[in-house]
Amino acid sequence: MKSKRWLVAATGGILGLMAVILVQMGNPPNMGYCIACFLRDIAGGLGFHRAAPVQYVRPEILGLVLGAFIASRFTGEFRAIGGSSPFTRFALGFWAMIGMLVFLGCPVRLVLRLAGGDFNAGVGLLGLVAGVIVGVRFLKSGFSLGRAVPQKSANGYVFTGFVGLVLVLLLALPSLLFFSEKGPGAMHAPLLVSLVFGLIAGFLAQRSRLCMIGGIRDYIFFRDAHLLYGFAAVFALALAGNLTVGAFKVGFAGQPVAHVDGLWNFLGMTLAGWASVLLGGCPLRQLVAAAEGNTDSAVTIAGFVAGAAAAHNFGLAASPAGVPVAGQVAVILGLVIVLILSFANCPAAVKGGVAVGKGS
Amino acid sequence: MEKEVDARGLLCPEPVLLTKQVLDAVPGGIVKVLVSNAAARENVSRLAENRGWRVEVSRQNEDFLLVLQK
């Protein structure tokens, strides 16, 4: 088990270092790696929303999925499975994304922002932990989205097939895609570097089961710090990297691709953390699980992408200027909907002790 | 005393939670846990080992069978 812990820490550390390098090579500041932002950019690149500054098919994400797919095939862990309340997962993914785009980042970017000295991310972290605590309470009360069942193996390849197709478009037919001319979407490291770094991250994340939400969740739940080592390693290495290249700036105001509205930084990440616990993992983990053949996670990714498109089509997403009123309403609505889904998927009467074999 | 936990098709942390409920309820013996994915296999193993249970893992078709003993 010690070697596993080392692997989680190494994965986190390499992810943190790669993020700093990606920023040096062109990615937006404190955004070397961000699953939420990059899925949002991909939604834009495919034209699902038309927010001009955030359109770019991020090779980091495509590489991550392909890397995790290769690792899972290589180790025989690839397995087509699904059927655990797929559309509820879609909805949870949708609302989690709204929360993350109000905060401006997924749990990975939250840590990267902290490592860049962005105190707003500290407020977001408190919100994330609060959301995880609420989600854990529901899990303790018996919340479950039910069992997934084995599927025909072809089903497990569909998600990675889509990702492969998007990569082919990016490499061979980029004229079909949208590319930002300015704004965060226009800031990116060279395609091949992003792709290779994505492959490495995906391969390692599959092997180590790195999960940012899982780290906080397992510590609160079981006092098990295993996955927190990954969380801490992302922070430590990104911090060291930022200090080395002079990208560390402490404070609340003037942080890159961030806003200073504490209430909404907090509540946005509460929504994201709560929904992610119910989903069984952070967006990074969902991408890896989808690549491993989990079609429920693939549906969750579709929910993320739909949420990202809605966030920009309806003007919900935050910007450095702050959080629009519509975005604030959307976060409250999201919290109410996640609350309803939390209760709806709890058993009517929950007993402690030996409750085995639920939801089959 | 032998108990079984069927955690097939469940994502983390549910397999760990179900196993923990059983481990909390029994002082020792044999607990068999069925899980569907490698992450659940590792997480349940870690929980059991941290509590002093011996863990043996075998494949059962596409699933994993964990036999916990104390």
| pLDDT > 90: percent of chain A | 95
**Which residue, chain included where needed, has tokens 């098709």?**
B9
The pLDDT, as a whole number, for residue B12 is 84
| pLDDT over 70 (residue B60) | yes
Tokens of A18: 């790669």
Rounded Cα distance between A139 and A54, Å, is: 36
Query: What's the domain range around A50?
Result: 2-356
DSSP A86-102: HHHHHHHHHHHHHHHHH
Rounded Cα distance between B10 and B20, Å, is: 15
Best residue in A209, A212, A229 to probe B by mutation, most B CBs within 10 Å?
A: A209
**What ipTM was assigned to the predicted interfaces of this complex?**
0.93
| pLDDT over 70 (residue A358) | no
Give pLDDT tens digits for A16-42.
999 999 999 999 999 999 999 999 999
Residue A281 contacts B, CB cutoff 8 Å: yes
Instruction: Tell me the average pLDDT across B19-47.
Output: 94
Residue B44 contacts A, CB cutoff 8 Å: no
Rounded Cα distance between A266 and A125, Å, is: 7
**B54-60 sheet: strands from edge to edge:** B2-7, B30-35, B63-69, B54-60
Sort out which chain A residues have CB atoms less than 8 A from B50's CB and list them.
224
Instruction: Tell me the average pLDDT across B2-14.
Output: 92
Give pLDDT tens digits for A216-270.
999 999 899 999 999 999 999 999 999 999 999 999 999 999 999 999 999 999 9
The domain total for chain A is 1
Instruction: Tell me the average pLDDT across A138-163.
Output: 96
| pLDDT over 70 (residue A293) | yes
The pLDDT, as a whole number, for residue A71 is 98
Give pLDDT tens digits for A263-288.
999 999 999 999 999 999 999 999 99
In degrees, to the nearest 5, what angle opens at C-alpha A24 toward C-alphas A23 and A25? 90
CA distance B67 to chain A (A): 16
Sort out which chain A residues have CB atoms less than 8 A from B46's CB and list them.
1, 4, 224, 226
The one-letter code for the residue type at A56 is Y
Strand partners, B7: B35
CB A22 within 8 A of CB A9: no
Rounded Cα distance between A95 and A304, Å, is: 8
| pLDDT over 70 (residue A54) | yes
The pLDDT, as a whole number, for residue B2 is 86
Rounded Cα distance between A350 and A314, Å, is: 40
CB B66 within 8 A of CB B55: yes
Sort out which chain B residues have CB atoms less than 8 A from A296's CB and list them.
11
The pLDDT, as a whole number, for residue A114 is 98
Q: Which residues contact B37 (CB under 8 A, 6 or more apart)?
A: A77, A79, A81, A292, A294, B11
Rounded Cα distance between A58 and A78, Å, is: 24
Strand partners, B32: B4, B67
Tokens of A233: 């390693």
Best residue in A11, A222, A346 to probe B by mutation, most B CBs within 10 Å?
A: A222
Kindly indicate the confidence band of residue A121, based on its pLDDT and cuts at 50, 70 and 90.
Answer: very high
Kindly indicate the confidence band of residue A354, based on its pLDDT and cuts at 50, 70 and 90.
Answer: very low
CB A229 within 8 A of CB A12: yes
The pLDDT, as a whole number, for residue B61 is 87
Residue A150 contacts B, CB cutoff 8 Å: yes
- Mean pLDDT over all residues of chain B? 93
Asked if B13's CB is within 8 angstroms of A280's CB, the reply is: yes
CA distance B42 to chain A (A): 9
Domains of chain B: 2-69 (3.30.110.40)
**Which residue, chain included where needed, has tokens 């916990």?**
B68
| pLDDT over 50 (residue A350) | no
Rounded Cα distance between B63 and A213, Å, is: 25
Tokens of A103: 């905060």
Residue A209's closest CA among A179, A229, A237, A181? A229
Q: Which residues contact B4 (CB under 8 A, 6 or more apart)?
A: A356, B31, B32, B33, B34
| pLDDT over 70 (residue A1) | no
